[in-house]
Amino acid sequence: MLLVTSTVVVGLALLAWGGDRFIIGASATARNLGVPPVLVGLTIVGFATSAPEMIVSAFAATAGSPGLAVGNAVGSNIANLGLVLGTAVLIRPMVVQSQTLRRELPALLISTLIPFLLFLDGILSAIDAIVLLVALVVLVYWLAYLGYRASVLDPIRAEFAAEIPADMPMLKALMWLAIGMTALLVGAESLVYGAERAARALGISEVIIGLTVVAIGTSLPELAVSVAAARKNEPDLVLGNVIGSNIFNMLAVIGIAGIISPHALEPEILVFHFPAMALLTLAVIVMTYNRSRHRGRLSRRSGAMIFASFFVYHGIVAFQTLS
């Protein structure tokens, strides 16, 4: 058990560090290639922050543990909303003034509804996976369209421009991209190996391991980015980070698992975990979207509610598992 625990810890550490390096390398490379910072922030960063989940999903599905992959996607979205966004709002209440981000909220809702509807038959089939990946392409195109149409006065432009490396040489950017990807690959393999054996040793399902330990671990890059942005008073960057990552988690992470290993979903995913994630997503959208004031606001009270929901959810999961 000590070896299994060490493998999981090393895997999580490599994923957290590698994810951070991969984000820096990917965003700097894209900017050096002439991609506008707002477009990098809305698409490339969303992909990069979900890279740990995508690679873990691929390794888990290849290893015959697709439940771990699906649990990772659902659990990561819960962690992004409850832990990452909740922590950021507790640090600094958010006033979201970006019209671009407000238009992204329906995309987040759509990316949550599509897999929910596909999962009603209890199966993640190859066709379902293809639908998810096609939806991902459509939504990424929509995000790119929003980025190009973003007003020069939209605060999201300045926040992305300030955070995405502008003076990093291409060679250094590619180096961090390669190092980050290598760390992600090694970390994912180590984490999946340890998670599978931990599940067997503890007598619990791989889905639970994916929803908890793996999901929180793969959400650490998002947490680091969002906490730093909150301290710098960049609320649009915080929300944009969460929205982009959650869209990729729902469509890319689950889509990859379904392409590699179609399978029947565990009932607990459909009955409790996915609905819990969907309700938390809807709650955040409702709290953030304020049509009358043309801006969204998340107070510390809202942040505390979101943050508490994360621990309530995990408390219920722990109770059910121990029972």
Non-local CB neighbours of 6 within 8 Å, separated by 6+ positions: 194
307 within 8 A of 87, measured Cβ to Cβ: yes
- Domain positions in the chain are 39-158+205-322
Residue 285 is predicted with a pLDDT of: 86
Beta-bridge partner residues of 263:
124
Q: CA dist 120 to 110, 113, 124, Å?
A: 16, 11, 10
297 within 8 A of 96, measured Cβ to Cβ: yes
Residue 294 is predicted with a pLDDT of: 53
229 within 8 A of 36, measured Cβ to Cβ: no
Residue 20 is predicted with a pLDDT of: 81
One-letter amino acid at 322 equals L
* Fold category of 39-158+205-322 in CATH: A middle domain of Talin 1 (1.20.1420)
One-letter amino acid at 102 equals R
Q: Please spell the DSSP secondary structure of 233-283, one letter per residue.
A: T-HHHHHHHHHHHHHHIIIIIHHHHHHH--EEPPHHIIIIIHHHHHHHHHH
Q: What is the DSSP letter of 296?
A: E
Q: Where are the alpha helices (DSSP H) in the chain?
A: 2-32, 37-39, 45-49, 51-62, 66-78, 86-91, 99-118, 126-149, 155-163, 170-202, 206-209, 215-218, 220-231, 235-248, 254-260, 267-268, 274-288, 300-322
Mean pLDDT per 10-residue interval, the chain, length 323 residues: 79 82 85 79 79 85 84 92 92 77 81 92 93 93 78 68 79 91 86 78 81 83 79 79 88 92 89 93 83 66 92 92 80
Beta-bridge partner residues of 94:
298
Residue 154 is predicted with a pLDDT of: 67
Residue 273 is predicted with a pLDDT of: 93
Query: Which residue is listed with tokens 């090694």?
Result: 186
Nearest to 207 by CA among 138, 125, 266, 158: 266
